[in-house]
Amino acid sequence: MPRIVREADIVWEGTTARGSGVVSAVSSGAFELPTTIASRAGDPEGKTSPEELLAAAHAACFVTSLGSELARAGTPPERLDVHCRITMDEVEGAGHRIVASAITARGSVPECDAAGFARAAEAADAGCPFSALIRASAAVTVEATLDEPGGNDGD
């Protein structure tokens, strides 16, 4: 895979405490999202935060890694649902830090059993660049559940 470079900008107006900003995807133009300090620490009120963007990025990276691992094993998925929960907390002597990223992956993979899905999820975590980045300073956990063929898909 070639080197990948992506860019985003934020324009912030006002003080940190009372101001607001708009974060934009420069590379794709896919989004312009409002953000405030209040959206980080309290009710988002329709605004995003760096932590939410990190959760989205980790989930998106992990799902492609998992799909690739399943295809490599000869068991391409029909559907993958990945949820990521980023936790930021105060760390004594260090201030606020990302302390955990919890991935929950659920999949419909007709030719795969639960053990194969778990192996693919483990390999996906090991190969996911965002897992590696976050793991450098926080805990990363992965929970993988394979849907039963013809069963409830969790919806």
Using one digit for the tens of pLDDT, what is the confidence trace for 107-147? 999 999 999 999 999 999 999 999 999 999 999 999 999 99
98, β-bridge pairs = 88
* For residue 79, pLDDT beyond 60: yes
- Where exactly does CATH 3.30.300.20 map onto the chain? 50-146
- pLDDT of the residue at 150: 62
The Cα–Cα gap between 80 and 98 comes to 26
pTM of the shown model: 0.90
Choices 3.40.50.920, 3.50.50.60, 3.30.300.20, 3.40.50.11890: CATH for 50-146: 3.30.300.20
Angle, helices 50-72 vs 114-127, to 10°: value is 120
